[in-house]
Structure 1
Amino acid sequence: MTEDFTELSDRLASPDTGLEAALWVPLMRLLSRGDPVDIADLAAATGRTVPEVHAALAAVPDTEHDGEGRIIGQALTLRPTQHRFEMNGKQLYTWCALDTLIFPALLGATARVESACHATGAPILLNSGAGSVTGVQPATAVVSLINPEDMSSIRSAFCNQVHFFASAETAQPWLDANPDGSVVPIAEALRLGTAMAGSLLHETPPAQRTLQGKGMHGCAC
């Protein structure tokens, strides 16, 4: 990755976003099961009290909840978006194009991704795995990226500008409107996503990593 992308990866995995790896990674594991996450379950998974979890979540104002106060989305979401993300037989969604390349490395699984070109609406399909992407259609597809100064509201500041485009040419109007942005091939975006996932896993306590690995096979995490 270039120096700029390394900086972006570091920022996305840093406290700039309000996301704590020790809380966020277990939350992604739980959301990936396809059901709303009760605060008490997240507290148990992270070894924290319910009030501590509430306080940590308050730092991420974009977190989605259902009518019962359970978490249904925080980058990985149960609420439909343009980015369909099917993993382990569960139909999930993500907030942005880059998320579809982060979560397979973070969760240790392969996902079938269905999205659309932000400019034309043309379908974009791919299989996203831990460190690999296959079956990209169209092969010319790219991802838009920005590096905003303020990431305290990560969905509005970052995710809402990170799209799939069918080609660099179809992304040109977006680039014209976002001169500080860039578009990169999916393989380059994958390297960025994999680096971010690696940073987050590195920051997760070893005991949690072990428990999460068990959780992916149906055990309590």
Structure 2
Amino acid sequence: MDLPVRTAEELIDPALEARWAARRSARQGEALQWILRAFVARGGPIPVEGIPGAVRDAVPALDADDLIRVHEGRVDLAYPFSAAPTPFAVRLADGRERYACCAIDALGVAPMLGEPVRVRSACHHCGAALEFPVAPDGPGPEAAGLMVWVGPRAEGARRMATSL
């Protein structure tokens, strides 16, 4: 079976890139930063009722914009983090483990936190175990030769992580 190998530039969808630019801008907001810090500090899920007032008021908009996911009154996704176990485990510098929504999210934790992490997963093609360090400026040499698999988003899918 031949699998196409494409560069990041070849995969860019202008409409998706525009949405991501808006998402990157929204990530700077105080409410999302509070939620992300909570995921780093204690994992998740985070009960919405336990979120401070001003931050809690922003939760519906963050959910609608697909920056977080609220399920049964709890924030269970705050990209890049998932409260539920996923195939993408990230060990933080202090040894705590968090789960990322996807491989790209796992790679983004180190630059987001400004500290090295270790990513653990398995090859989706052959099942081989993968574990390697990621510094804020990118993966270590142990990741040489690895590729991230990017699947097409389902037509009409509102959320990025609907399959978690």
Q: Is 1:98 matched with 2:107?
A: no
Partner of 1:14: 22
1:202-221 → structure 2 map (5 Å cutoff): none
Asked whether the 8 Å contact 1:100–1:128 carries over to 2, the reply is no
1:65-80 → structure 2 map (5 Å cutoff): 65=71, 69-75=73-79, 76-80=81-85
**CA deviation vs aligned residue, 1:55-90 (integer Å, no higher than 9, x gap):** 22441397255x7x3424323023211011111321
Q: Which structure shows the higher helix fraction?
A: 1
Partner of 1:82: 87
2:158 to 146, 152, 157: 152
**CA deviation vs aligned residue, 1:181-208 (integer Å, no higher than 9, x gap):** xxxxxxxxxxxxxxxxxxxxxxxxxxxx
Partner of 1:208: none
2:60 to 43, 48, 55: 55
The count of residues paired between Structure 1 and Structure 2 equals 149
The one-letter code sitting in structure 1 at the alignment partner of 2:127 is G
Report the RMSD for the aligned CA atoms in angstroms: 3.4
Q: Which is further off, 145-154 or 98-107?
A: 145-154
Higher relative contact order (CA 8 A, sep 6+): 1
Partner of 1:118: 124
d(CA) in 1 for partners of 2:118 and 2:38?
Answer: 19
5+ residue gaps, structure 2, are 1-7
- Shift in Å at residue 25 of structure 1? 3.5
5+ residue gaps, structure 1, are 161-221
The TM-score, its normalising length taken from structure 1, stands at: 0.54
The percentage of counterpart residues that share the same residue type is 21
The TM-score, its normalising length taken from structure 2, stands at: 0.69
Partner of 2:5: none
Asked whether the 8 Å contact 1:34–1:92 carries over to 2, the reply is no
Q: Is 1:39 matched with 2:58?
A: no
- Shift in Å at residue 152 of structure 1? 2.7
Asked whether the 8 Å contact 1:35–1:72 carries over to 2, the reply is no
d(CA) in 2 for partners of 1:122 and 1:85?
Answer: 17
Going from structure 1 to structure 2, the CA distance change for 1:64 and 1:93 (only over 3 Å counts) comes to farther
**CA deviation vs aligned residue, 1:66-117 (integer Å, no higher than 9, x gap):** x7x3424323023211011111321111110000111211122211110011
d(CA) in 1 for partners of 2:109 and 2:13?
Answer: 18
Asked whether the 8 Å contact 1:64–1:72 carries over to 2, the reply is yes
